[in-house]
Chains A and B, each alone.
Chain A
Amino acid sequence: MTVTEARPEAADAVIAAARLEPVPATGGIVGWLTTADHKRIGLLYIGFGIFGIAGSLVLSALASISVAAESNYLGDALVQVSRLGTIGLVFTGVVPTLLGLGLAIVPLQIGARAIAFPRAAALSLWGWLVGTVLMVASFVANGGPGGGKGRAVDLFLLAFGLVIVSLLLAALSLVTTLLGLRTAGMSLARTPMFAWSWFVTGAMLLVTLPLLVGVVIYLYVDHRYGRQIFGGNDGIVRYTGWAFRQPVSLLYALPVLGILADAVATATRQRQALAGVVRGGIGFAGIVAFGALNTAFDPRVTSRVVFIAVSVVAAAPVLVVLALALRNLAAGKPRLTAGFAVSVLGGLLLLGAAAVGILYPIERLELVGTPFEAGQLHLALAAGIVGAIAGAAYWLPKLTGRVVPTGPAIGLGLLAALGGLLTGVGPIIVGFSSSSTQAGYGILAAGAFLAALAVAAFGLLALRSARAGASAGDDPFDGLTLEWATTSPPPPGNFAGELGAVQSAQPLLDRKEA
């Protein structure tokens, strides 16, 4: 008889601990500027991202008021302000904020001592920030889509490319961390749902956004040297438009499903029922968001079958994940936390964004190319914004050691959800009836202002809480996953002691039940 001697559990922990040497934190502003600590990088992404969301929403509101009031007080700058609002909301607002949450939290969730390629993650932050500043500067100098100054348009394209490449670098770092730095015993199927959602989102971004980079390279060369192929400045909107339409738009808010599943499970203190189906749902949603890219470049050559199929099925995985996450509510008595309450709103908004896609085939694709598309994008981005508030309210106590007050956070989340909903409903109305343009854009403007106000107020609330909030303790929500097993805020290296081998997707609950 042969017996295989099992490796002692302690050995696993030692190996896990030795995987990456922690980067010691340095204090002061210099410490923050030169940091390679994933928690600080994530916090900086979140901070600047919230600023980007609020600023972009204000720009969208200003442009919408100009259309709604038929005053055109923005003059020739109307198109520029509107486009900067949309591009900014996606690439300097929602995506970076959710990415910041991922960079800060995912390594903690999987028991990693650090993030993979920490300097690349830091480079991505500063590259993104410089790109964002240059992008805004190009608009100020009369550049960007709709701009009248050629050199400024060129600068916009370069800055836009830099922003996308920087976000790709961060996604690469995050996905590599998930693949290579999970603690002993934690298979991909045992990763927390937020980590899993970022695995899917990051992988899909890595195969989607390079296509956008390729188009931007063509646009830059063409615009810089000839303006013969892509219609000069006008081509920017036309040929990058697919990145702001269904189904790619749904990809930007996908991590909301992970936030929802984790926050609900913690609030109910229940293991996720049918966790494999939830993972499959998140994965399928990600694949759907990529699968119709072949419909993207030119609406005239849209593969109608694929586009219609995606329109029909996009809502299904979101609905499944939402339903299964909320199924936990029936099994346990939920405690009202901001993360739980607000993430449900985010999930519902994402479901709405995916579900309205079914109107494309119902309306025989006549909604393609109308403001309806912008409405769907806004719904998805609203889901991302609300999800970011939920995620921040849920995990900031871990990162800062200070509680974010539940009541105000829920109130602001609700306000952001309402505003976000209006930003989607307005253009959808206009998409159906161009005679409702004024009303539709009026609704959009009101919603954008409301959401901007809520996001800015939440940013201030989070900042105030981080400075002078009540102490959170290490495990304020009685969490189930590994991020709650360390101190708040976590030390350099994330975990002071040995973690031991993980046995399930809720290792902390295992420990508490033992």
Chain B
Amino acid sequence: MLALPPAPAPSRPRLLMLGTALASGAVVMLVAGMIGVYLYWRGQDGGFTTSWLPAKVEMPEVPANTMMATMIGASVLVQWAAYAAVRGDRRNAALALVLTAIFGIAVVNAQAYIYRRLEMPLVSPDGRRYNTLFFTLSGTIMVLVAFATLAAVIGLFRVIGGRLGPRDGEFVNAVALFWHASAACLVTVWYVLYILK
């Protein structure tokens, strides 16, 4: 009779990943709800066949598209960081996290540039709803990106401090998951705000 060796001990539950997945789901619901409110008011203000932008306001498309592409790029980078961190590759993990954080800052910078170029007040002088809804929705996304960037920086410190490997690398994995959720939210908002207009 051939006996197999005992089964390996089950790995420690990935609590951080579970919690991050749930938090990411909640964040997606938050953004989905806010997009729903935005679209509701847009529907009330004349439907979806014409642009909702106020007169004389021109949406700067190039920085908007750059922002979206940067966020997707950051998503790739943070996955690289997660891949490296789990395998104990400190140099690659640290490099990828530095780049991720820089990309995150670039996204926030692009959004700030868009705000500046728009020359549109937060509250419309003629009572249009668009202004407030636009700034609130895009601002919420920027808070998410800033939070994700902060998480990446914390992950960077952990990696530099040697917290790597299948177990300690879980934090970077969690950061990556949150980044992907944030990126999905940003891309959707980008489509709603800058493509549908």
Where the two chains meet, the residues of A that have a C-beta atom closer than 8 Å to any C-beta of B are 1-5, 7, 11, 15, 19, 116-117, 168, 172-173, 175-176, 179-181, 203, 206-211, 213-215, 217-218, 221-222, 225-226, 228-229, 297-298, 301
Contact B2 A2 (CB under 8 A): yes
Specify which of A179, A210, A229 is in contact with B132 (CB 8 Å cutoff).
Answer: A229
Contact B9 A210 (CB under 8 A): no
Give the docked Cα–Cα distance between A15 and B9 (Å).
8
Give the docked Cα–Cα distance between A298 and B129 (Å).
17
Known contacts A218-B136, A229-B41, A229-B133: A213-B30 contact under CB 8 Å: yes
Q: Decide if B60 is an interface residue (CB 8 Å cutoff).
A: no
Give the docked Cα–Cα distance between A378 and B2 (Å).
66
Give the docked Cα–Cα distance between A168 and B2 (Å).
52
Give the docked Cα–Cα distance between A297 and B7 (Å).
52
- Determine the residue in chain A with the shortest Cβ distance to B23: A172
Give the docked Cα–Cα distance between A402 and B123 (Å).
59
Q: Which residues of B have CB within 8 Å of A181?
A: 13, 15
Contact B33 A225 (CB under 8 A): no
Task: Supply 27 A–B pairs (Cβ within 8 Å), ascending by A.
Answer: A7-B7, A7-B9, A15-B10, A19-B13, A116-B15, A172-B26, A175-B22, A176-B15, A176-B19, A176-B22, A179-B18, A180-B14, A181-B13, A206-B25, A206-B26, A210-B26, A210-B30, A211-B32, A211-B36, A214-B33, A217-B140, A218-B34, A221-B132, A221-B139, A229-B41, A297-B40, A298-B40
Q: Which residues of A have CB within 8 Å of B128?
A: 228
> In residues 125-144 of chain B, which contact A (Cβ within 8 Å)?
127-129, 131-133, 135-136, 139-140
Known contacts A222-B132, A229-B129: A180-B29 contact under CB 8 Å: no
Q: Which residues of A have CB within 8 Å of B3?
A: 3, 5
Contact B10 A172 (CB under 8 A): no
Give the docked Cα–Cα distance between A397 and B71 (Å).
53
Give the docked Cα–Cα distance between A180 and B170 (Å).
14
Give the docked Cα–Cα distance between A175 and B22 (Å).
8
Q: Which residues of A have CB within 8 Å of B6?
A: 5, 7
Known contacts A116-B19, A180-B15: A228-B26 contact under CB 8 Å: no
Give the number of residues in B that approach A within 8 Å (Cβ atoms).
43
> In residues 20-68 of chain B, which contact A (Cβ within 8 Å)?
22-23, 25-27, 29-34, 36-37, 40-41
- Determine the residue in chain A with the shortest Cβ distance to B38: A218
Specify which of B14, B29, B129, B140 is in contact with A207 (CB 8 Å cutoff).
Answer: B29
- Determine the residue in chain A with the shortest Cβ distance to B14: A180
Least Cβ–Cβ distance between B35 and chain A, in angstroms: 9
Known contacts A206-B22, A228-B132: A214-B31 contact under CB 8 Å: yes
Q: Mark B65-81, 1 if CB is under 8 A from A, else 0.
A: 00000000000000000
Give the docked Cα–Cα distance between A208 and B33 (Å).
9
Q: Which residues of A have CB within 8 Å of B127?
A: 228
Contact A215 B132 (CB under 8 A): no
Q: Decide if B122 is an interface residue (CB 8 Å cutoff).
A: yes
Least Cβ–Cβ distance between A396 and chain B, in angstroms: 28
Least Cβ–Cβ distance between A284 and chain B, in angstroms: 20
Give the docked Cα–Cα distance between A206 and B131 (Å).
29
Least Cβ–Cβ distance between B49 and chain A, in angstroms: 18
Least Cβ–Cβ distance between B51 and chain A, in angstroms: 19
Main SS of the interface on chain B? helix
Where the two chains meet, the residues of B that have a C-beta atom closer than 8 Å to any C-beta of A are 1-7, 9-10, 12-15, 18-19, 22-23, 25-27, 29-34, 36-37, 40-41, 122-124, 127-129, 131-133, 135-136, 139-140
Specify which of A4, A172, A203, A208 is in contact with B19 (CB 8 Å cutoff).
Answer: A172
- Determine the residue in chain B with the shortest Cβ distance to A202: B22
Q: Which residues of B have CB within 8 Å of A7?
A: 6-7, 9
- Determine the residue in chain B with the shortest Cβ distance to A300: B44
Least Cβ–Cβ distance between A200 and chain B, in angstroms: 14
Least Cβ–Cβ distance between B56 and chain A, in angstroms: 19
Q: Which residues of B have CB within 8 Å of A168?
A: 26
Least Cβ–Cβ distance between A357 and chain B, in angstroms: 23
Contact A172 B22 (CB under 8 A): yes
Give the docked Cα–Cα distance between A218 and B4 (Å).
61
Give the docked Cα–Cα distance between A428 and B137 (Å).
38
Least Cβ–Cβ distance between B179 and chain A, in angstroms: 18
Q: Which residues of A have CB within 8 Å of B23?
A: 172
Known contacts A117-B19, A215-B37: A207-B25 contact under CB 8 Å: yes
Known contacts A218-B136, A221-B132, A228-B129: A5-B5 contact under CB 8 Å: yes
Least Cβ–Cβ distance between A177 and chain B, in angstroms: 8
User: Nearest 8 A-B pairs (CB), nearest first?
Assistant: A226-B123, A211-B33, A180-B13, A210-B30, A214-B33, A214-B34, A210-B29, A176-B19
Give the docked Cα–Cα distance between A215 and B13 (Å).
35
Known contacts A179-B18, A181-B15, A207-B29: A217-B34 contact under CB 8 Å: yes
Q: Which residues of A have CB within 8 Å of B15?
A: 116-117, 176, 180-181
Give the docked Cα–Cα distance between A7 and B15 (Å).
23
Known contacts A2-B2, A180-B15, A180-B18: A226-B132 contact under CB 8 Å: yes
- Determine the residue in chain A with the shortest Cβ distance to B123: A226
Least Cβ–Cβ distance between A465 and chain B, in angstroms: 35
Least Cβ–Cβ distance between A311 and chain B, in angstroms: 22
Least Cβ–Cβ distance between A6 and chain B, in angstroms: 8
Least Cβ–Cβ distance between B142 and chain A, in angstroms: 13
Give the docked Cα–Cα distance between A168 and B30 (Å).
12
Q: Which residues of A have CB within 8 Å of B33?
A: 210-211, 213-215
- Determine the residue in chain B with the shortest Cβ distance to A12: B10
Least Cβ–Cβ distance between B24 and chain A, in angstroms: 10
Specify which of A3, A19, A173 is in contact with B1 (CB 8 Å cutoff).
Answer: A3
Q: Which residues of A have CB within 8 Å of B27?
A: 210
Give the docked Cα–Cα distance between A288 and B136 (Å).
30
